[in-house]
C-alpha cells in the first residue's frame, strides 16, 4: 500500500451475486454492484465488503480491482447467521403495487422466506407484469442485503387461492377477521416446521373462500378485535409466528455469535 494512502476499511456493505461470480477465491461483481461500489459508496482498493451467493453462505471480500468491473479476493467464507430457522410463506391477496412492495420489504426484514400473491374473489389489483415482477425481486434483494440475511426470499407469480392451498405442505394458517374462537397466539407452532400464512385482500376473504381453506386443512385465526389493513395484518402475523418460534426477539443465546 502506497505511503500516505488511506488505510483499508472493513465495511458491512453486502451484495448478493449470482453463484457464477464466485471462482478460485475471487469474486467478480456485477455491473450494478460495481457501479454501487465505485460511484455511490466510493470504496477504494483493499476495502472489504460482504458478498453472498444466495445459498446462505457469505464471503468477506477484499477489493482489488475497481475498473472496468470490481474484482476482489475472498479472505473468509462463513455461514450467514441471520436466516430464520422457520420457513414462513406469506400468501397475500393481491394488493395495489405500493402496498405489496411495502409487505415485500418489511416481510423480508421480519424473516419471511417466500411471498405468493394470490388471486381471490375480492382482489382488486391487477396481476403484475414482467417489469413489476422484476421490481419485486429487486425490493426483496435490497431488503435482504440491508437487514443482513443470507438468502433472498422468493416472490412467486400470482396463484388462485385454491391452487395456493393445495400446493403447500406447511401448517396452513388463515387470517380471518370474523374468527371468534382461535387467536393466532393460541396455535402451537413447532420451531423449524414450515408455516403457510394466508392473508386476504383489502375486501377480505369471502365465506366460500374461508370454507375452501378449512376443507384444505387451514386453521382460521384472529389477530384480535381490531380490523387491520391487509398489509398490516400480513406483517403482524409474520412477526408473531417468527416470535412464536423464537426467531424474532427470541432466544439469542441459541444463535452463535455473528
Candidate list 123, 176, 210, 245; residue touching ligand SAM; CB under 6 A: 176
Q: Which of 257, 250, 221, 253 is nearest to 86 (CA)?
A: 250
Min separation Cβ 214 and ligand SAM, Å: 14
Q: Is 219 exposed, middle or buried (0-12, 13-18, 19+ CB in 10 A)?
A: middle
Task: Look up residue 21 and give its three cell numbers.
Answer: 461470480
For ligand SAM, the closer of residues 22 and 176 by Cβ is 176
Greatest C-alpha distance within the chain: 74
Min separation Cβ 175 and ligand SAM, Å: 4
For ligand SAM, the closer of residues 108 and 123 by Cβ is 123
Candidate list 65, 73, 137, 177; residue touching ligand SAM; CB under 6 A: 177
Q: Are 42 and 51 in contact (CB under 8 A)?
A: no
Give yes or no for residue 117 binding ligand SAM (CB under 6 A).
no
Which of the stretches 31-39, 170-178, 211-219, 241-249 binds ligand SAM when contact is defined by CB under 6 A?
Answer: 170-178
Helix, strand or coil, per DSSP, at residue 97: helix
Q: Which of residues 191-210 bind ligand SAM (CB under 6 A)?
A: 199-200, 202-205
Task: Look up residue 68 and give its three cell numbers.
Answer: 472496468
Strand spans (E) along 22-70: 22-23, 26-28, 48-52, 57-65
Candidate list 143, 230, 240, 245; residue touching ligand SAM; CB under 6 A: 230
Give yes or no for residue 222 binding ligand SAM (CB under 6 A).
yes
Distance CA 47, CA 30 (A): 17
Residue 63's Cβ-side half-sphere holds a number of Cα atoms within 13 Å equal to: 28
Give yes or no for residue 189 binding ligand SAM (CB under 6 A).
no
Give yes or no for residue 164 binding ligand SAM (CB under 6 A).
no
**Which residues face 62 on adjacent strands?**
48, 73
Give yes or no for residue 241 binding ligand SAM (CB under 6 A).
no
Give yes or no for residue 213 binding ligand SAM (CB under 6 A).
no
Distance CA 127, CA 119 (A): 8
Give yes or no for residue 140 binding ligand SAM (CB under 6 A).
no
Give yes or no for residue 228 binding ligand SAM (CB under 6 A).
yes
Write out the residues near ligand SAM by the rule CB under 6 A: 175-177, 199-200, 202-205, 222-224, 226-230, 233
Amino acid at each position: 500500500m502506497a505511503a500516505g494512502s488511506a488505510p483499508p476499511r472493513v465495511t458491512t456493505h453486502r451484495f448478493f451475486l449470482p453463484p457464477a461470480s464466485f471462482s478460485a477465491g475471487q469474486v467478480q461483481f456485477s455491473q450494478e454492484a460495481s457501479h454501487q461500489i465505485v460511484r455511490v459508496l466510493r470504496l477504494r482498493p483493499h476495502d472489504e465488503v460482504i458478498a453472498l451467493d444466495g445459498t446462505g453462505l457469505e464471503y468477506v471480500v477484499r477489493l482489488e480491482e475497481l475498473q472496468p468491473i470490481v474484482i476482489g479476493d475472498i479472505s473468509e467464507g462463513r455461514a450467514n447467521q441471520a436466516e430464520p430457522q422457520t420457513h414462513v410463506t406469506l400468501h397475500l391477496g393481491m394488493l395495489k403495487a405500493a402496498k405489496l412492495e411495502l409487505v415485500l420489504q418489511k416481510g423480508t426484514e421480519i424473516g419471511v422466506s417466500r411471498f405468493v400473491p394470490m388471486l381471490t374473489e375480492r382482489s382488486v389489483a391487477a396481476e403484475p407484469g414482467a417489469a413489476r415482477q422484476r421490481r419485486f425481486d429487486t425490493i426483496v434483494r435490497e431488503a435482504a442485503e440491508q437487514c443482513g440475511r443470507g438468502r433472498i426470499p422468493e416472490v412467486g407469480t400470482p396463484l388462485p387461492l385454491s391452487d395456493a392451498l393445495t400446493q403447500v405442505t406447511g401448517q396452513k394458517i388463515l387470517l380471518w377477521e370474523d374468527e371468534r374462537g382461535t387467536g393466532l397466539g393460541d396455535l402451537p407452532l413447532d420451531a423449524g416446521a414450515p408455516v403457510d400464512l394466508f392473508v386476504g385482500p383489502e375486501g377480505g376473504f369471502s365465506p366460500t373462500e374461508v370454507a375452501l381453506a378449512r376443507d384444505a386443512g387451514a386453521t382460521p385465526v384472529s389477530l384480535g378485535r381490531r380490523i387491520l389493513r391487509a398489509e398490516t395484518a400480513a406483517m403482524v402475523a409474520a412477526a408473531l409466528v417468527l416470535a412464536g418460534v423464537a426467531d424474532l426477539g427470541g432466544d439469542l443465546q441459541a444463535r452463535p455469535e455473528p
